[in-house]
Amino acid sequence: MQNISLDNTAIEIHRKIQTGNIRHVVFDFDGTISLIRDGWQNVMVPMMVECLQTETNTTETQEALESLVVDFVDKLTGKQTIYQMIQLSEEIEKRGGTPKAPLAYKDEYNRRLLPVVEERIAGLAAGTLPADPLRVPMSLEFLQSLRKMEISCYLASGTDVEFVKNEAELLGVAEHFDGGIFGALREYKKFSKAIVIQKIIADFQLSGSELLIIGDGYVEIENAKEVGAIAVGVASVEDNMYNMNADKRERLIRAGADIIIPDFREGKLLLDYLFNP
Ligand SMILES: [Mg+2]
């Protein structure tokens, strides 16, 4: 087998890239920096199965519906949450039901997720819960190093922007995103990770090797490859009872990740590699 690990680290180099030019770095939030929303699938999947059961006359079994939902939720992860809700509406319609507006399902999902994340958020805000275990290991230190090197950092998340800003603040990472914090909007067509990336490229007239995208979802990795940017996939471990995204590492590689890391524990070595020509 080909040895792809960098100097006996857990850093995997999958493609030869042009190093030494990076000036801007875009981060995904959930699963890349934040673990606050870890376990969200445990809320979204049962809600959708329930909607399909109560809003249609389907005779499909609970297991069949669950497997359908797990499949499309998983496929759409990394895009704004609304896209998962649009698909739910379509599935309800396909089964003869009259779906509500996707935004109504999204509001309901946020309402149900709230108690799960609120405990963590309240604990962080009150100072009774330390931030460190709710950050992907060494992500803060990695960001700090980048800022010391005067590299511009941006946050782009499929979670609603007001939540992202608040949670980034509570995790102590917000101040490091000098380039801005971006997230999902109610007018969902006005935001996508691709739009953020394209704007940075246009504003600074960047070539691909000057831009680095870091994320744990195939969406941002594909977005990076579409513009020729360098893509680092974070194969972080997720806690959900459906075993969703269990093949995260393989998925990120398929999406075109140049480099795979499990987290930022070997961040210094990764920076050495990325910033030396
Ligand atoms: Mg993510």
Per-block average pLDDT, block size 10, for the chain (277 residues)? Answer: 80 96 97 94 96 97 97 89 97 97 96 91 95 96 98 96 97 98 92 96 96 95 97 92 86 96 97 96
Q: In this structure, what token pair is assigned to residue 233?
A: 């996939």
Q: Which domains are assigned to the chain?
A: 12-35+133-275 (3.40.50.1000), 41-126 (no CATH)
| Ligand 1 midpoint to CA 30 (Å) | 4
pLDDT attached to residue 1: 41
Residue 2, pLDDT score: 56
Q: 222-246 burial string, b = 16+ CB within 10 Å, else e?
A: bbbbebebbbbbbbbebebebebbe
Q: Are 73 and 48 in contact (CB under 8 A)?
A: yes
Q: Per the structure block, which two tokens stand in for 13?
A: 């180099």
Task: Tell me how far the alpha carbon of residue 16 lies from the centroid of ligand 1, in angstroms.
Answer: 24
**Ligand 1 centroid to residue 35 C-alpha, Å:** 10
Provide the angle, in degrees to the nearest 10, between the axes of the packed helices 161-170 and 102-126: 10
How many angstroms does the Cα of residue 157 sit away from the middle of ligand 1?
A: 7
Long-range contacts of 2-7 (CB under 8 A, 24+ apart): 6/269, 6/270, 6/273, 7/269
Distance 59 CA to ligand 1 centre (A): 34
Q: How far is the CA of 206 from the centre of ligand 1 (A)?
A: 24
Cα(180)–Cα(146) distance, integer angstroms: 15
Reading the block at residue 191, the tokens are 């935001």
Question: How far is the centre of ligand 1, averaged over its atoms, from the C-alpha of 217 (Å)?
Answer: 5
**How far is the centre of ligand 1, averaged over its atoms, from the C-alpha of 5 (Å)?**
23
Distance 164 CA to ligand 1 centre (A): 12
CA of 193 to the centre of ligand 1 (A): 11
CA of 266 to the centre of ligand 1 (A): 20
Residue 243 has what pLDDT? 81
Contacting residues for 239 by C-beta, under 8 A, at least 6 apart: 38, 39
Interval between CA 274 and ligand 1 midpoint (Å): 22
pLDDT score at 3: 62
Measured from the Cβ of residue 266, the count of other Cβ atoms closer than 10 Å reads 20
What spacing in Å lies between the alpha carbon of 242 and ligand 1's midpoint? Answer: 17
Give residue 214 CA to ligand 1 midpoint distance, Å: 10
Q: How far is the CA of 96 from the centre of ligand 1 (A)?
A: 33
Q: How far apart are the C-alpha atoms of 5 and 25, rounded to whole Å?
A: 22
pTM of the model: 0.90
60-75 burial by CB neighbour count: b if 16+ within 10 A, else e?
A: eeeeebbebbbebbbe
